[in-house]
Amino acid sequence: MQFCQLAEVFDRLESTSSRLEMTDILSDFFRKVEPSELRQMIYLSVGRLHPEFYPQELGMADKLVLKAIASVSGRTQKEVDDLWIKLGDPGEVAEQMVAKKKQMTLFSEPLTFKSVVEGLTLIETATGKDSQDRKMKHLARMLHDSDPVEARYICRIVTGRMRVGAGAMTVMDALATAFATKEERPYIERAFNITCDMGLVAETLAAGGMEAVGKIGVAVGSPVKVMLAERLRSLPDIMDRMGGKCAFEYKYDGMRVQAHIKKGEDGFVKLYSRRLEDLTHNFPDVADALREQLKGTEAIIEGECVAYDPSNGSLLPFQNVTHRRKKHGMDKAVEEIPVKIFMFDLLYIDGVDYTVKPYSERRAKLKDSFAPKEEGLDIVDYTTQAVITDEDQAQEFFDKAIASKCEGIMAKSLEDVSIYRAGSRGFLWIKYKKDYTQALVDTFDLAVVGAFYGMGKRAGVYGALLMAAYDPDTGRFGTACKLGTGFDDAFLAELPNMLEKYRSEKKPSSLEAEMVPDVWFVPGVVLEVTAADISISPIHTIAFGSIKEDAGLGLRFPRFTGRVRDDKTPEQCTTSAEIVEFYQMQEERDSDESEPSES
């Protein structure tokens, strides 16, 4: 296949914001592609050569890409750099420069899909001495043979800016349309949720149909999308919703990890964050302990890594464990910031998929699968848990959790249906945090989608940000507030750098927005925000029409908490349904408070 056919599909996807239209474009295209090429195309559509959880990334610096553009376009480096300052996106710079170059180049061969994958692989694997120079030359070779649209996408792919607007939900709709039925769509989604590998699912489906997809299972080394919790505003509400009986666990304030453990000669331990980043390097002590103490040969477990004070064993807040994310000096960090892992779930062990088993069975097997450490301090532990059958017990357990420096509790259903729902948020798990008992309802995790230039003291940096929440049903983002408080000077100075990679010339196609910032960003950076309350908003677009026709919901008096949620993807942000729920909880609370008291 010629690369220009794929580039044309990317271009058509980018120029529409209709999910239905994207589904049609993709499903037509999927039918025409060889299954083995389809796999790679799916990865390329999000700017990668492998599934998301693979550590390698193309990640070429803009400067290097601009050098390659200058070398093939016959323009001076200054001309190319100036255009980049104006446009912000090396892809568009390449497109414009290559369009001009075309008139003067005589000898170029059309790019095939295969040759582009080969070129990108050379870029990804170039290491050692002169590697930057070699990367630049491999890129220049491809650009030499590119037409303008191909050049745009090649440069976006190598700089990690590849976002054509079709999210995972749309890709799965298109796969179902092309190769299965609407009714079979949930099985495609499950296969994706338990492998996090859309390329694998697409190739399997295109080559072997739904029967082959049904055989895709949970496997050590392939991260599983994490199960998430809903929230309710009070312990009695939780007990009610759980039918009067459920398990409570402490909700630890640390970093979630999914550990994939395999013993033996070809063994390994991999720790993944909830964003599927490889965290093994940050927790070598946890990885070693899990491997040593696992009784079986291979398993996937989940737990929370929490920092503690070695002088008294007391647990420390999240911020402490994030220091482990430093790239260098890990030995020192392991010593200075000791952590423990509190395990709370078992997804797989020795050939058996536990995600399909109810919570009590998973928990019992988990507690039976690790041996205590023979001597010295044991850093492998389990979440404190109890079965709760009334409100007094619930309150007592919650108070103990808070006294033990936890954030609150996680209530977990004991019903037979309480399987591990990979990638979904539901009421089988319900979280309840200390914050809920205070005036502010909770924190919101929102994606940065725009910035406003600062004035006065903040001149020269961004002064405020446009923040968005996510709607998983439509796969789109909607704005929820303009955020201008809670930033310190150091953070403001760092912001442009943090956001640069996500800068976009126009409003991202996955975003609904009325408010227009000075700079747009595709959703990438997630910040934690508190707010006084939620109100109906004529300007913000999240949950548009849910409460009032022609209006969305907006956060009032939003404030940055200081916490960058780099453990969350933008799709793991607070959802529009949660914001609606908050709004309704707040309305209920306000009407309860205005009821005359009986005494």
CA distance 251 to 128: 44
Tokens of 303: 């737990």
CA distance 469 to 487: 20
Beta carbons of 224 and 347 less than 8 angstroms apart? yes
**Nearest distance in Å: CB 64, ligand AMP:** 37
Q: Residue 323 or residue 457: which is nearer to ligand AMP going by CB? A: 323
Q: Residue 179 or residue 252: which is nearer to ligand AMP going by CB? A: 252
From the list 399, 343, 335, 348, the residue with the least C-alpha distance to 367 is: 343
Q: Is 251 a catalytic residue?
A: yes
**Nearest distance in Å: CB 311, ligand AMP:** 24
Bridge partners (DSSP) listed for residue 301: 259, 346
**Nearest distance in Å: CB 320, ligand AMP:** 15
**Nearest distance in Å: CB 241, ligand AMP:** 17
Amino acid at residue number 383: T
**Nearest distance in Å: CB 190, ligand AMP:** 20
Beta carbons of 253 and 315 less than 8 angstroms apart? yes
From the list 477, 476, 481, 478, the residue with the least C-alpha distance to 465 is: 481
Q: Residue 94 or residue 534: which is nearer to ligand AMP going by CB? A: 534
Q: Residue 193 or residue 383: which is nearer to ligand AMP going by CB? A: 383
**Nearest distance in Å: CB 559, ligand AMP:** 17
Q: Residue 239 or residue 247: which is nearer to ligand AMP going by CB? A: 247
Output the CA torsion sign for 157, 162, 168, 169.
negative
Q: Residue 178 or residue 526: which is nearer to ligand AMP going by CB? A: 526
Enumerate binding residues for ligand AMP (CB under 6 A). 229, 249-252, 256, 274, 304, 344, 383, 410, 431
What DSSP line would sit under 32-49, residue for residue?
HS-HHHHHHHHHHHTT-S
Report the residue closest to ligand AMP, judged by CB: 256
Tokens of 558: 């939003």
Burial of residue 213, with CB atoms counted within 10 A of its CB: 0-12 exposed, 13-18 middle, 19 or more buried: buried
405 conformational bin, left if phi > 0, alpha if psi -120 to 50, beta if neither = left
Per-residue HEC secondary structure of 498-540 comes to HHHCCEECCCCCCEECCCCCCEEECCCCEEEEECCEEEEECCC
Biggest distance spanned by C-alpha atoms of the chain: 91
**Marked catalytic residue, from 251, 340, 482, 568:** 251
Q: Residue 176 or residue 410: which is nearer to ligand AMP going by CB? A: 410
Q: Which residues contact 407 (CB under 8 A, 6 or more apart)?
A: 251, 252, 253, 401, 433, 434
What DSSP line would sit under 182-240, residue for residue?
GGGHHHHHHHHHHH--HHHHHHHHHHHHHHHHHT----TTS--PPPEEEE-S-HHHHHH
**Nearest distance in Å: CB 253, ligand AMP:** 7
Give catalytic residue positions. 251
